[in-house]
Structure 1
Amino acid sequence: MFDYTVKTSKSLEEAISSLEENLKSEGFGVLWNFDLTAKLQEKGQDFHTPFTVLEVCNQKGAQRVLSQNLLVGYFLPCKMVVYQDESETKIGMPRPTAMINMLHNEELQTLAEDIETRLIRCIDQSVQVL
């Protein structure tokens, strides 16, 4: 499967905040928090679905994979999305393993599996209501 997406009962803002906190605890920084809805509306497009893209990066992980194959740069930084789908808030991402698989490199695949596991943990922790 290409993506990992889950539902949460949290609001869009709560889900984003929770995700950012959980990413930080796993060593990921949010490089960019992009409100796609606002940007499309600013450009005159009739789009009203709340949709935010977070570009996230673990510097050590990025350095490791880029040192092995510069083509990995096409997949960086990792993208995560938080959006409203009808009345549900969803958090998701493309799976790093699905993208790295295109390079047919077992060592890179192992590194991608570690990153993916950590990002999924961040998402899963973010959907929980405490």
Structure 2
Amino acid sequence: MFHYTVETNKSVNEAVSALETALQEEKFGVLWDFDIKETLENKGFDYDRDYRVLEVCNPKAAKDALTQNHMIGYFLPCKIVVYTDQGKTKIGMPKLTTLIALIEDDSLDTFAEDIEARLISCIDQSVNE
């Protein structure tokens, strides 16, 4: 499976807040918080579910990876989505190991595994907080 997704009993806003706290502990910053529902409604389109896309980055890890292979920039920053689906809030992300495999540079495997594990830990922590 190309993604990691979990459910939480929190609202989307509560889940985003808990996620931001967990990300800060891992030295990830939220570069952008894109509220898709709000943006579509501002453009005159109805969208019936809350859907936020967080673009997150750990600057040191990004610099190290880009120094190793500039093609990793195609997958930066990392994305985490928080949305409602059939009355449940879900938090998910594409698996970095799957994305990085597309570059076909085995030297990036350890980097991808580390960042993926750290982001999954942040997601899990935000659900259990």
With normalisation by structure 1, the TM-score equals: 0.96
Match for residue 94 of structure 2? Answer: 94
- The question of 1:124 aligning with 2:99 is answered no
- The question of 1:43 aligning with 2:48 is answered no
Match for residue 33 of structure 2? Answer: 33
List aligned pairs for 1:66-105, cutoff 5 A: 66-105=66-105
In the alignment, the residues of structure 2 paired with residue 77 and residue 54 of structure 1 have an alpha-carbon distance, to the nearest angstrom, of 9
Q: Which moved more, 1:13-22 or 1:41-50?
A: 41-50
Match for residue 6 of structure 2? Answer: 6
Match for residue 54 of structure 1? Answer: 54
The residue type paired with residue 48 of structure 1 is D
The residue type paired with residue 91 of structure 2 is I
Q: Which moved more, 1:118-127 or 1:104-113?
A: 104-113
The residue type paired with residue 8 of structure 1 is T
The residue type paired with residue 17 of structure 1 is S
The residue type paired with residue 80 of structure 1 is I
The residue type paired with residue 61 of structure 1 is A
Match for residue 111 of structure 1? Answer: 111
C-alpha deviation, 1:56, in angstroms: 0.2
In the alignment, the residues of structure 1 paired with residue 37 and residue 68 of structure 2 have an alpha-carbon distance, to the nearest angstrom, of 36
Q: 1:33-71 deviations in whole A, cap 9, x for unaligned?
A: 111111011112221210000000000110011111111
Q: CA RMSD in A?
A: 0.9
In the alignment, the residues of structure 1 paired with residue 41 and residue 71 of structure 2 have an alpha-carbon distance, to the nearest angstrom, of 33
In the alignment, the residues of structure 2 paired with residue 62 and residue 117 of structure 1 have an alpha-carbon distance, to the nearest angstrom, of 15
- Structure 2 regions of 5+ residues with no counterpart? none
In the alignment, the residues of structure 2 paired with residue 46 and residue 17 of structure 1 have an alpha-carbon distance, to the nearest angstrom, of 25
In the alignment, the residues of structure 2 paired with residue 100 and residue 48 of structure 1 have an alpha-carbon distance, to the nearest angstrom, of 33
Aligned residues: 129
With normalisation by structure 2, the TM-score equals: 0.97
